[in-house]
Amino acid sequence: MYRFKVFFPIQMILGAVLAIFLSSCGTEEIINNIVSNEVTAKERLNSAITDAHNSYGDSTNLVLIFGKNVKPNGTTVISPLTIFANPDSVGAWLYIFKSPNDTTLRVYTPNPSPTANGCIELTSFFNINSLIGLIQDTSARNIVSGALDIILTSNITISTSTGSLVDSDVSMGYANNTNPIIKFNANYVPDTSSLNGSVFLASGTNQSRNMFLIPAAGTLNLPAYVTELTGFPNDLWIVNYKKTNANLQTENLILGTVVESNQNMGIPLLGLTSKVINISKYVSE
């Protein structure tokens, strides 16, 4: 039921847009704008923050960003034709806000209308279960679900300023290309890894990528378990890669990246520094 509720208003908006523009100008530029609206996470973030403050007060804070079906370049593309044909394949950014001592999550997404540069509010179409239900991989779902549980019962927020925050395209670049990567086993013993996103997606079909920005220091708190880990940031970009392997089995890789360009994580005992850490529940290479 939540899927219908989430995409119904977007379908209505885009239906109206198509009717207006296809009956008027008809130029190639307008058609391209209608068919593809591509944005990074930060391109509409300030608009979402302004809208949330105007509607719910200046104490309303960003607590999570969720990117569904993110492209390899760190953008999402809203396509009217795709939305009408297959809502599951739609790409979108969701900006999640919360006010102190309030358990209601306020949800915004980029306005998919052609030439738009703002956001629309989706709060009335979302609850926690519908948000968690959009996340396909169990491990990633548990990470975000656990973070939300803490967020809802505390005043933990995204503390990185928007000016310092690297955009989704930069974080995706880190996750795709960084080598080496920090990893740890089931006993939280750290090691080095070469399994980045590009290596993981070098094979397989039905490939997809989701992204999350979470307040990691107050939710994951990995240094409490991987005691050798240094430089773990207060917030963390997470990239969830998914594919179907040659045996028709679903595989996932979950990588966390730093959120500022001058940040690095490290394992001094191994002489290892990296902008990326593998936080998959199970890692095999």
- Report the alpha-carbon angle 257-263-264, nearest 5: 70
Residue 154: pLDDT band (50, 70, 90) is confident
Under DSSP, the state recorded for 285 is: -
Omega into 180 within 30° of 0, i.e. cis?
yes
Higher pLDDT, 78 or 116: 116
Q: At residue 143, does pLDDT exceed 70?
A: yes
Higher pLDDT, 79 or 186: 186
Among the ranges given (33-42, 70-79, 97-106, 196-205), the one the predictor scored with the smallest mean pLDDT: 33-42
Among the ranges given (31-45, 102-116, 155-169, 206-220), the one the predictor scored with the smallest mean pLDDT: 31-45
Amino acid 138: pLDDT:
65
Higher pLDDT, 192 or 29: 192
Residue 241: pLDDT band (50, 70, 90) is very high
Q: At residue 25, does pLDDT exceed 80?
A: no
In angstroms, what CA-CA distances link 284 with 21, 33, 280, 281? 50, 42, 10, 10
Alpha-carbon Rg for the chain, nearest whole angstrom, is: 19
- Could you give the CA distance from residue 35 to residue 264 in angstroms, rounded to a whole number? 39
Amino acid 102: pLDDT:
82
* This prediction's pTM: 0.82
Task: Please answer whether residues 209 and 70 qualify as being in contact, where contact means their C-beta atoms are separated by less than 8 angstroms.
Answer: yes
Amino acid 103: pLDDT:
81
Closest C-alpha to 229, from 258, 253, 252, 197: 258
- Could you give the CA distance from residue 247 to residue 237 in angstroms, rounded to a whole number? 30
